[in-house]
Copies of this chain bind each other. A is one copy, B any other.
Amino acid sequence: MVTIADVARHAGVAPSTVSYVLTGKRSISADTKSRVRESIRALGYQPHVTDRGLSSSRTNVIGLVLPLRAGMHLSGMMRFVTAAVTTARRYDMDLLLMTADDGASGLRRAANSAQVDGFLVMDVEMDDDRVPLLRQLSKPSVLIGHPATARGLTCVDLDFEAAGAKCVDHLADLGHRSIGFLGAPSAVYRRSTGSAHRTMNGFSAAAMRRGVAATALAVEDDHDSVLRATKALVRAHPSMTALVVHNEAALGWITSCLRAAGRQVPGDVAVVAICPDELAEQLSPPFTSVRLPAEELGRHAVDLLAAKLDGKQPPPLMLLPPRLSRRASTPDPAVPHQHRRTGSSG
């Protein structure tokens, strides 16, 4: 391994001079500077990253606390991670993976061991037991998702309430008066996952505000459950002309399930999804969707953490506004929907 001393010897200067050339914390003559640079290049020297003087407690590593449990939005997660890694590299930082199943103890271990400068905590639930610990911890952290109260934390999240409401508003604007909602698997609600609850709340509140009939249902991840839920929904509300889907697994099947229930998309039932744009575009017909802004979340999360490491105090909660992309699943009504019912009802 090439050390700073080797470089100094090669360049005929003191080790400290090499250090100053690298950090730029002192003025060094152009001549010496270029000579040192030349030696660095010649010897292929790379500063020993893990040891930045030991005294400056910075490691330039961020702990990424991943959920790694079943039922996650996997594609969204990968896109988040990609964006986070890329953004972190811009701050010359790296991401260290930590599973959430060590939970609190894992966090404590990493925090005390000076292995990381801070944490990115994904998939935070409304009553997450890691939150009290994060508040205490000497290391800064940024949460993706937010607990019931964000005081004393830094959270970034999509405004899921607004997202749920946006779906209703879009459909109500198109004239729909009865809207269904297919949500995440029931286990996700039982876990009191913020995104699921808040979307549903936003949906319900907006439906009430707009005076449209609304029915929400939790749906499991398998095809038969989606089919059953769809049929149940159509049977219970034959006049339903629109559907909001917040369940990635269900999305691929919902068109054929609705057809099996005697409903065409978008002819009989308009559909809005809450999912990554990419997925919405793969469907047939392409679905109108409120996108899950995984990349933005990843980018903002790292930016916020970098700011905190820089001594700044960002606001406790950053909510990204939902953005709806209109596609073929919610066309303009040729005829008002409430008069265009087809298929059997029962």
Chain B: minimal CB distance from A144 (Å): 16
Minimal Cβ-Cβ distance residue in B for A77: B78
Which of B1, B109, B249, B284 is the one whose CB lies under 8 Å from A282?
A: B249
Residues of B contacting A1 with CB < 8 Å?
57, 112, 114
Cβ–Cβ contact B227 & A114, under 8 A: no
Interface size class of A (residues with CB under 8 A): 35 or more
Check if A82 is an interface residue, CB within 8 A of chain B. Answer: yes
Cβ–Cβ contact B224 & A64, under 8 A: no
Check if A54 is an interface residue, CB within 8 A of chain B. Answer: yes
Cβ–Cβ contact A112 & B44, under 8 A: yes
Check if A344 is an interface residue, CB within 8 A of chain B. Answer: no
Check if A189 is an interface residue, CB within 8 A of chain B. Answer: no
Instruction: Tell me whether chain A's interface is mostly helix, strand or loop, or mixed.
Output: mixed
Check if A187 is an interface residue, CB within 8 A of chain B. Answer: no
Which of B48, B221, B222 is the one whose CB lies under 8 Å from A114?
A: B48
The distance in angstroms between the C-alpha atoms of A335 and B209, with both chains bound, is 59
Max chain B Cβ within 10 angstroms of own Cβ: one of A47, A75, A114, A283:
A114
Cβ–Cβ contact B81 & A221, under 8 A: no
Within 8 A of B (CB), among A8-31: none
The distance in angstroms between the C-alpha atoms of A39 and B324, with both chains bound, is 58
Bitwise interface map of A from 260 to 282 toward B, beta carbon under 8 Å scored 1, else 0:
00000000000000000000011
Cβ–Cβ contact A50 & B46, under 8 A: no
The distance in angstroms between the C-alpha atoms of A152 and B115, with both chains bound, is 33
Known: A85-B68, A95-B97, A256-B256. A115 touches B49 (CB 8 A): yes
Chain B: minimal CB distance from A38 (Å): 18
Check if A98 is an interface residue, CB within 8 A of chain B. Answer: yes
Chain B: minimal CB distance from A231 (Å): 13
Cβ–Cβ contact A114 & B49, under 8 A: yes
Which of B51, B97, B253, B282 is the one whose CB lies under 8 Å from A51?
A: B51
Within 8 A of B (CB), among A218-250: 221-224, 227, 249
Known: A95-B97, A97-B94, A222-B284. A113 touches B48 (CB 8 A): yes
Residues of B contacting A57 with CB < 8 Å?
1
Listed A/B pairs (29) with beta-carbon separation below 8 Å? A1-B57, A1-B112, A1-B114, A2-B112, A44-B112, A46-B112, A46-B114, A48-B113, A49-B113, A49-B114, A50-B114, A64-B97, A68-B78, A68-B81, A74-B74, A82-B99, A85-B99, A86-B101, A94-B96, A94-B97, A95-B96, A95-B97, A221-B282, A222-B281, A222-B282, A222-B284, A224-B284, A227-B284, A253-B256
